[in-house]
Amino acid sequence: MKYHLSDMLILEQVSMETKKPYRIIKGIILKFQMDYKPSTGMIYPAIDRLLKAGFIKKTSEGFIITEAGKKYRKENQENYEMLISNFMDNKLFFRNLRKAIKDLINSIKDADKGYIKSHQDEIISQIGNIAEGVRNRK
């Protein structure tokens, strides 16, 4: 089975108790405690993959991990933890980046129009230099 982070998130959620999809999503939201909500378009295909692989089973109360799912989770735990760490770092970075860009736009809007007009080429050049620096470090 191809490795998916969403599969591991679901396996983690159903490893201790039976959960329906809504509670799986809520558990993932609580795990990250930040502005992230997995979509049903991510959860339901992952549930289908896990069911087909025999890693979870459906009960009348919801979904629960199987012995095969526990084994798969254990075998992939190190990779999962690394992906979660990277995910958290990226979410934090982009949240801070969005805030910085919003602050920049508001500063430009609030600035003296004469200053902006006389320095617009310099401002645009500095923003372009940042973009170029990021591109060159790929």
Q: For 34, phi and psi rounded to 5 degrees? A: -150, -175
Q: For residues 12 and 70, state if they share a domain.
A: yes
Beta strands in the chain (DSSP E): 56-59, 62-65
Contact (CB, 8 A) for 5 and 49: no
What percent of the chain stands above pLDDT 70?
96
Count how many domains the chain has. 2
Place of tokens 């200053």: 115
Listed residues 26, 48, 75: the one ending a domain: 75
Helix (H) / strand (E) element for 58: namely strand 56-59
Compute the distance between CA of residue 80 and CA of residue 74 in angstroms, rounded to an integer. 10
Output the tens digit of pLDDT for each of the chain's 138 residues. 676 889 999 999 999 899 999 999 999 988 877 667 888 899 999 999 999 999 999 999 999 999 999 999 999 989 888 888 887 788 778 878 889 999 988 988 888 888 888 988 999 999 999 988 888 886
Which CATH number goes with the domain that contains 10?
1.10.10.10
Provide the whole-model pTM.
Answer: 0.66
Closest to 15 measured CA to CA, from 69, 52, 80, 75: 69
Does residue 56 sit in helix, strand or coil?
strand
Q: Which domain holds residue 35?
A: 5-75
